[in-house]
């Protein structure tokens, strides 16, 4: 009988390049899955999903009476999302802004910012909120065994891994995020067009891109500005997943004045006036006599350009 002394396994050795590559990939996947990018299934980032679920648990549905935003944020960070309250509240504000989301998930009361200054919203102790009716499309089948559940951060509650979206929310509201080594910027689309294209694809799984583009010809941004990108460039964008969308404002002629009533997505009216005024001072817009901002609560965007002569308007 011989005595054998068990020795612990030697530490694993691997080249620094291999370890660094794996560690970087693991970290980037964590950021992608848990923080930065929206999920294809419901089109939401974790903080957006947790806000939506927490509000449904507070019975803040579309027909409910709104509650203080601080109450909602307290539940979100206390039960599901242990991060800063300011960042969580800002995420909820974006979900309530009709100029940021094509189909807002939250219906807010109070000052929730403006298109000129989206971050001019009031503090959470002053605003109230409830879920918008659109959120029903993400929550109505939650209790029917449609999604997986997982423990929350301290293991005391369960939360859904995804919300059972009945429509492709990733296309309807789009998605934007920057992760480690990758990013995404998906434009929003029209509900009727997306549903029509989805039904067609379900009925015809081998449908071509051209067939789908006949039903869903392009993006549909919240502000309603015109898309100036040619159709063949939009087709290339959908085919390759890479491209850009050019937009232009809408205007009308009123009493010899050029009245801009719709600006491109995420374009500030105040900055537009500032840039036009700079061009006027540089003598690059000699036909413009004056420009003023007449935007108010009834007309969120109303920029008035006064020409030097009405003949320019008639010739245009």
Tell which residue, 112, 111, 109, has the closest CA to residue 130: 109
Q: Are the CB atoms for 166 and 87 separated by under 8 Å?
A: no
Q: Are the CB atoms for 115 and 225 separated by under 8 Å?
A: no
* Coil vs helix vs strand at 247: strand
Catalytic residue ranges:
126
Q: What mean pLDDT is predicted for residues 70-89?
A: 96
pTM of the predicted model as reported, rounded to 2 decimal places: 0.85
- Residue pLDDT, tens place only, 226-252: 999 999 999 999 999 999 999 999 999
Tokens of 141: 């089948």
pLDDT at 29: 73
Domain residue spans of the chain: 17-160, 187-246, 249-307
Tell me yes or no: is domain 17-160 CATH 3.10.450.50. Answer: no
pLDDT at 281: 92
Q: What mean pLDDT is predicted for residues 70-96?
A: 96
- Work out the mean pLDDT of the chain and round it to a whole number: 90
- Residue pLDDT, tens place only, 113-146: 988 889 999 999 999 999 999 999 999 999 899 9
pLDDT at 298: 84
pLDDT at 315: 54
Count the helix, strand and coil residues of the chain and give each as a percent rounded to the nearest 5: 35, 15, 45
Cα 167 from Cα 181, distance rounded (Å):
29
Query: What CATH number was assigned to the domain covering residues 249-307?
Result: 3.30.1360.40
pLDDT at 246: 95
């Amino acid at each position: 009988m011989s005595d054998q002394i068990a020795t612990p396994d030697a530490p694993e050795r691997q080249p620094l390049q291999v370890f660094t590559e794996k560690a970087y990939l693991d970290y980037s996947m964590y950021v992608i899955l848990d923080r930065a990018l929206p999920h294809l299934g419901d089109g939401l980032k974790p903080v957006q999903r947790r806000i939506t679920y927490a509000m449904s648990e507070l019975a803040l549905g579309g027909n409910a009476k709104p509650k203080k935003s601080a109450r909602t944020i307290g539940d979100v960070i206390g039960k599901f999302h242990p991060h800063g309250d300011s960042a969580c509240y800002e995420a909820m504000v974006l979900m309530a802004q009709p100029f940021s989301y094509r189909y807002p998930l939250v219906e807010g009361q109070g000052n929730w910012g403006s298109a000129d200054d989206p971050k001019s919203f009031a503090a959470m102790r002053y605003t109230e909120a409830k879920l918008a009716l659109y959120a029903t499309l993400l929550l109505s089948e939650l209790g029917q065994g449609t999604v997986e559940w997982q423990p929350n951060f301290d293991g005391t509650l369960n939360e859904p891994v995804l919300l059972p979206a009945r429509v492709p929310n990733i296309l309807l509201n789009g998605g934007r995020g920057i992760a480690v080594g990758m990013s995404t910027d998906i434009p929003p689309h029209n509900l009727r067009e997306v549903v029509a294209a989805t039904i067609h694809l379900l009925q015809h799984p081998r449908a071509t891109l051209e067939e789908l583009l006949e039903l869903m010809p392009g993006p549909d941004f919240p502000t309603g500005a015109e898309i100036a990108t040619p159709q063949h460039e939009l087709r290339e964008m959908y085919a390759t997943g890479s491209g850009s969308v050019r937009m232009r404002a809408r205007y009308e002629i009123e009493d010899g004045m050029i009245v801009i009533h719709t600006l491109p997505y995420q374009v500030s009216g105040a900055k537009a006036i500032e840039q036009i005024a700079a061009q006027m001072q540089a003598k690059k817009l000699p036909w413009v006599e004056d420009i003023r901002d007449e935007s108010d609560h009834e007309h969120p965007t109303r920029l008035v350009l006064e020409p030097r002569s009405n003949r320019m308007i008639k010739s245009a």
